[in-house]
């Protein structure tokens, strides 16, 4: 099975079994993992995110486990933090409703409050909401008035450039709460009305007595897998746990809509690999016909290049440039980027205010890329 850059390691596989498996098998996997003498003081993010799920799955079997209190503590902390996120999202949703701006809650919050048994099982570092592109500027203003500041924007980059070259932007308040504002659901696809299906098929979501709207189960699963393909993700386990949970909760989800969206986004083949992994490693009830259909879709040089880019754009300058080009080609108006076609688009992405300054910006980035490659090779020789 092809690894798309964010596959769980064998060690993570043990933990996923402890989190998602039947009680006896899960307990055996947990004991095997603990016998490796791995301290909970030195675990990675992928492991940490599974601890509250493991606690809920095995709490009745871990009463004498020396780590039981710590697992329970992670679970309780997650529950409290997620309800704080819910309170913040509820307050913001009220402002947007009064302004007449529709929104969808996406990713972590629907997963935590709709698919897991309770909100203490899904670790969340931020909240995500989707608005229509024409509303993004107004929403950014509302968030600024609520004390949220933009994060990750280049010092020279204007809001127009951010909107043109990104699909989302993080905002953080003084308390450290992060909210990711999306005006497109995926980075590589910014075509006109490309996300309409998410709005037209959205479903009601009630969390803590508050009503929101969220993507349908089929599109929610699609998003989980699409983000699971991202090698830049800090965790290799969250997408697996989330996807298995959705498939168990919604075994009769709309597979036709799922397949249609994966094919429309040119992600059929890599998504098929994800589904095959879930079927083979966790017994998820994914129909073979769905995997076979996706495996035979979107084949060609363009799909291969797109998949290669997704797997490497975090650490490859060439892949990063190709990623920008794919986004440029799949935007609402590729030619309207402060002039200059793709060069103008790169100026926007890099915060360059004049095409005349583009050569300097390009040389700067090429030198940095060469420096990183040279540094990595030197480190490999030392090791």
The CA distance from 29 to 36, in Å, is 11
306 forms beta bridges with none
* Pairwise CA distance, residues 270 & 244, whole Å: 17
Per residue of the chain (383 residues), what is the pLDDT tens digit? 555 557 899 999 999 999 999 989 999 999 899 888 677 888 899 999 999 999 999 987 876 667 888 899 999 999 999 999 999 999 999 999 999 999 999 999 999 999 999 999 999 999 999 999 999 999 999 999 999 999 999 889 999 999 999 999 999 999 899 999 999 999 889 999 999 999 999 999 998 788 999 999 999 999 999 998 876 666 789 999 999 999 999 988 999 999 999 999 999 999 999 999 999 999 888 999 999 999 987 665 455 555 545 555 555 667 788 888 888 888 866 555 455 789 999 999 999 999 999 999 989 888 887 766 555 444 444 44
Q: How far apart are CA 203 and CA 232, in angstroms?
A: 29
Backbone angles phi, psi at 99, to 5 degrees: -85, 0
Residue 287 burial class via C-beta count within 10 angstroms: exposed 0-12, middle 13-18, buried 19 and up: exposed
pLDDT at position 374 is 59
Going by their DSSP bridges, the two strands 127-130 and 178-182 should be labelled as: parallel
User: What pLDDT, on a 0 to 100 scale, did the predictor assign at position 383?
Assistant: 47
- The pLDDT of residue 245 is 97
Distances (CA, A) of 212 to 27, 110, 204, 221, 314: 37, 9, 6, 18, 34
Quick one: which of 75, 77, 29 has its CA closest to 52? 75
What are the boundaries of each domain within the chain?
10-302, 315-382
Backbone phi, psi, residue 175, to 5°: -80, 0
Whole-structure pTM value: 0.90
pLDDT number for residue 337 = 46
The whole-number pLDDT of residue 1 equals: 53
Helix (H) or strand (E) holding 17: helix 10-20
Read off the DSSP letter of residue 41: T
Give the separation between CA 68 and CA 65, rounded to whole angstroms.
5
Q: Which helix (H) or strand (E) covers residue 258, if one does?
A: helix 255-264
CATH entry 3.10.20.30 includes domain 10-302:
no
pLDDT attached to residue 98: 96
Residue-level pLDDT at 150: 95
Check residue 190 and report its DSSP letter.
Answer: B
């Amino acid at each position: 099975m092809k690894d798309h850059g964010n596959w769980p390691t064998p060690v993570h596989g043990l933990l996923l079994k402890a989190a998602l498996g039947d009680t006896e098998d899960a307990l055996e996997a947990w004991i095997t993992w603990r016998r490796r003498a791995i301290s909970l003081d030195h675990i990675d993010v992928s492991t940490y995110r599974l601890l509250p799920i493991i606690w809920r799955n095995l709490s009745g079997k871990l009463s004498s486990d020396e780590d039981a209190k710590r697992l329970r503590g992670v679970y309780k902390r997650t529950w409290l933090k997620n309800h704080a996120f819910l309170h913040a999202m509820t307050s913001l949703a009220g402002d947007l409703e009064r302004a007449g701006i529709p929104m969808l809650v996406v990713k972590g919050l629907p997963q935590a409050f709709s698919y897991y048994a309770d909100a203490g099982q899904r670790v969340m570092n931020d909240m995500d909401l989707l608005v229509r592109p024409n509303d993004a500027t107004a929403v950014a203003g509302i968030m600024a008035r609520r004390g949220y500041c933009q994060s990750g924007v280049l010092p020279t980059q204007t809001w127009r450039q951010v909107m043109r070259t990104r699909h989302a932007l993080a905002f953080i308040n003084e308390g450290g709460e992060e909210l990711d504002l999306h005006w497109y659901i995926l980075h590589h696809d910014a075509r006109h009305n490309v996300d309409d299906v998410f709005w037209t098929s959205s479903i009601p979501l009630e969390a803590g007595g508050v009503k929101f709207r969220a993507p349908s189960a089929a599109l929610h699963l699609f998003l989980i897998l699409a983000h699971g393909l991202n090698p830049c993700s800090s965790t290799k386990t969250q997408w697996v746990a989330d996807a298995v949970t959705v498939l168990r909760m919604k075994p009769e989800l709309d597979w036709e809509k799922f397949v249609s969206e994966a094919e429309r986004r040119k992600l059929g083949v890599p998504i098929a690999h994800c589904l095959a992994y879930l079927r083979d490693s966790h017994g998820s009830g994914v129909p073979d016909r769905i995997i076979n259909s996706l495996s035979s879709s979107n084949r060609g040089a363009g799909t291969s290049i797109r998949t290669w880019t997704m797997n490497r754009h975090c650490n490859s300058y060439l892949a990063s440039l190709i990623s920008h080009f794919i986004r440029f080609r799949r935007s609402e108006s590729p030619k309207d980027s402060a002039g200059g076609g793709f060069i103008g688009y790169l100026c926007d992405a890099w915060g360059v205010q004049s095409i005349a300054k583009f050569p300097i910006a390009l040389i700067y980035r090429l030198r940095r890329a060469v420096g990183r490659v040279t540094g990595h090779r030197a480190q490999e020789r030392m090791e």
